[in-house]
Amino acid sequence: MRPTDITDPEYFHKVVDCQYACPAHTPVPEYIRLIAAERYTEAYMVNWESNVFPGVLGRTCDRPCEPACRRGRVDEEPVAICRLKRVAADNKGDVQAWLPEIPLIKNGKKVALIGGGPASLTVARDLAPQGYEIHLFDEQIAGGGMMRSQIPSFRLPESVLNEEVNFVLDMGIHTHFKTYVSSLHEVLNQGYDAVFIGTGAPKGRDLNIPGREEGKANIHIGIEWLASVAFEHTAKIGKKVIVLGGGNTAMDCCRTSRRLGGDEVKVVVRSPFAEMKASPWEKEDAQHEDIPILDNHVPKEFVVENGRLVGMRFEKVKAVYDEKGKRSLVPTGEPLVYIEADDVLIAIGQENTFPWIERDLGLEFDNWGMPVVSRKTFQSTLDQVFFGGDAAFGPENVITAVAQGHHAAVSIDLYCQGKDVQVRPSPLTNLVSQKMGIHEWTYDSIVVNDDRYKVPHAEKQKTLRDRKVEVELGFAKDTGFKEAQRCLNCDAQTVFYTNRCIECDACVDICPTSCITFTDNGEEDDLRTRLNAPALNLSQDLYVSDLLPQTKRVMVKDEDVCLHCGLCAERCPTAAWDMQKFLYSTSKASNVCGVLQL
């Protein structure tokens, strides 16, 4: 193999698994260390700079970071990254001093944001400090988009959402709420230098099976119903409720139903339980609230008697997989299952819809009715129009919307300054030794054995009575500290200096996880078979040195289960190993608070 090029920022970026997996590339270990140091405000700002909604995400994020967490590869469970984010948000002090200054004299460019959700708010946050005049349009009464209309208050208190939405709106954003934009053509005629479309995936998928029309008074589309609850148009539901669907919206629907009078709420889903789209913890929370989840049931008809919905019939199926692993649901042949219901909530997916965009503007749509958008620049085929969030590539999640908002804001900035949007600014990176003494590092290098801590919940009797009572209580400070100590500090990189190495094997002998091998060079496939421990995780790179001075062998380190404990560097007599903190911050349209440069 060729020697690893550690000057390529992507190499060490990939080693920080959580940050790499995060769509917005939040520097996770950095803020976790700040939490452990009780520097909650800075921890919050590290998050805010990267993901704009730490309080929201600390409660509701889909957490792509956690399955990626290195600790999950050596321990039972990963670090509770998401809930640590909430610790920072819950305990932060006054952040006003950290927020970017908004120039009084604007830069003369006007940008329209259509939709007030996480993507648009991110674009606003990134562009406002540069002096852009920003106009935000949303049909709702307040900003936040689906974070407000779809995420129930018992998971995300309104006060938390309002605070973070207002951090952005208070940057001098011109808001146009309760304003439905019905024509892109009109917007384009109003002299904006750029238009960003972050209108989400606002249409809930319907289920057209017999009885749908007759029973429509008691059959609701999940996201519409959640919005109606959020905006207090709906306060009640029948005693017996069926929720159709297996995603997180279904989980929110069933749990909300429990709080609005649903005594017997059931989730009914086509797929096997294990393959449901909902996050495991959301399924757990639903089951904890006495909501059974019936899997392998395909809805067949709504049963309506005397003009009123009384239940549904389902066909039982089992999942069969062909040799390519493709699943098909095959009926078991058992009689149809009848389940009584006063109300049914359909939460089987969301779709994009752009009825307000004229098709003759030069903005191309593909065969599926989606706009043609660049995955790199988020620019549409109409140069001044950009997309982001669910509107760009279909339903994803908040953190993805934020990440896309950052990219779009960079593009809008480049576009408005007359620059090539294809030429992306480099990420901000830094690599600094953490050595403080012969055996001392700036970070807590000792690896603790603690199991993952559980987040305490409020009492069920209390939370089921009021939909606004938050269920999760968040970690207390001391538990937050202990959970933070579980972090392996993967951003403390093991940097190897080939020319200093005397090949004494001290690092090999001390490495608890047998990551390091000195051997003759070879191709990767071959090298992986000759290491001190099996290197089976092909998604993790091998760090290969240049030829060593004495024996012309190479040092090979399998990044897979390195604990970043620093023992290799502590035992190294010549400082050929060093632990160096790698900072990686994605490029953004503006340097919003600079907390990472502390």
Which of 328, 430, 551, 587 is close enough to bind other proteins by CB under 8 A? 551
Least distance in angstroms from the C-beta of 196 to other proteins: 45
Which of 565, 579, 589, 595 is close enough to bind other proteins by CB under 8 A? 565
Least distance in angstroms from the C-beta of 21 to other proteins: 19
Angle value at C-alpha 180, between 175 and 184, nearest 5 degrees: 95
Choice between 74 and 102, CB closer to other proteins:
74
Choice between 477 and 553, CB closer to other proteins:
553
Least distance in angstroms from the C-beta of 428 to other proteins: 31
Choice between 217 and 502, CB closer to other proteins:
502
Instruction: Tell me which stretch binds other proteins (CB under 8 A): 107-115, 325-333, 472-480, 560-568.
Output: 560-568
Choice between 372 and 448, CB closer to other proteins:
448
Strand pairing report for 110-114 and 194-197: parallel
Task: Enter the tokens of residue 319.
Answer: 């999942």
Choice between 331 and 534, CB closer to other proteins:
534
Residue 164, H or E segment: helix 158-169
Contact status: 502 vs other proteins (CB under 8 A): yes
Contact status: 436 vs other proteins (CB under 8 A): no
Place of tokens 């998050």: 47
CB 136 within 8 A of CB 173: yes
User: How far is 478 from 262, CA to CA, in rounded Å?
Assistant: 37
CB-based contacts of 439: which residues, under 8 Å, 6+ apart? 570
Which of 515, 516, 556, 579 is close enough to bind other proteins by CB under 8 A? 515
Instruction: Tell me which stretch binds other proteins (CB under 8 A): 77-85, 126-134, 405-413, 498-506.
Output: 498-506
Choice between 187 and 501, CB closer to other proteins:
501
Which of 159, 166, 550, 597 is close enough to bind other proteins by CB under 8 A? 550
Residue 419 backbone dihedrals phi, psi, to 5 degrees: -100, 165
Least distance in angstroms from the C-beta of 551 to other proteins: 6
Which of 509, 538, 594, 597 is close enough to bind other proteins by CB under 8 A? 509
Residue 262 Rama label (left phi>0; alpha psi -120 to 50; beta): beta
User: How far is 338 from 358, CA to CA, in rounded Å?
Assistant: 45
CB-based contacts of 210: which residues, under 8 Å, 6+ apart? 300, 301, 302
Contact status: 17 vs other proteins (CB under 8 A): no
User: How far is 514 from 559, CA to CA, in rounded Å?
Assistant: 10
- Amino acid identity at 443: Y
Which of 34, 243, 276, 506 is close enough to bind other proteins by CB under 8 A? 506
User: How far is 249 from 540, CA to CA, in rounded Å?
Assistant: 33
CA atoms within 13 A on the CB side of 238: 19
Contact status: 574 vs other proteins (CB under 8 A): yes
Which of 294, 382, 431, 504 is close enough to bind other proteins by CB under 8 A? 504
CB 412 within 8 A of CB 195: no
Instruction: Tell me which stretch binds other proteins (CB under 8 A): 117-125, 144-152, 230-238, 571-579.
Output: 571-579
Give the residue among 251, 255, 305, 258 at the shortest CA–CA distance from 273. 251
Which of 210, 425, 573, 594 is close enough to bind other proteins by CB under 8 A? 573
Instruction: Tell me which stretch binds other proteins (CB under 8 A): 50-58, 70-78, 177-185, 214-222.
Output: 70-78
Give the residue among 335, 324, 325, 329 at the shortest CA–CA distance from 271. 329
How close are the terminal C-alpha atoms of the chain, in Å?
37
CB-based contacts of 242: which residues, under 8 Å, 6+ apart? 265, 266, 268, 311, 312, 339, 341, 343, 344, 345
Which of 175, 179, 384, 514 is close enough to bind other proteins by CB under 8 A? 514
Contact status: 74 vs other proteins (CB under 8 A): yes
Number of residues in contact with other proteins, rule: CB under 8 A? 36
Which of 512, 538, 594, 597 is close enough to bind other proteins by CB under 8 A? 512
Contact status: 439 vs other proteins (CB under 8 A): yes
Which of 572, 592, 593, 595 is close enough to bind other proteins by CB under 8 A? 572
Which of 212, 533, 546, 547 is close enough to bind other proteins by CB under 8 A? 533
Work out whether the CA dihedral 298, 301, 302, 306 comes out positive or negative: negative
Contact status: 332 vs other proteins (CB under 8 A): no
Which of 567, 592, 593, 595 is close enough to bind other proteins by CB under 8 A? 567
User: How far is 410 from 389, CA to CA, in rounded Å?
Assistant: 15
- Residue ranges that bind other proteins, judged by CB under 8 A: 73-75, 438-439, 445-447, 449, 502-506, 508-510, 512-515, 533-534, 536, 550-551, 561, 563, 565-567, 570-574
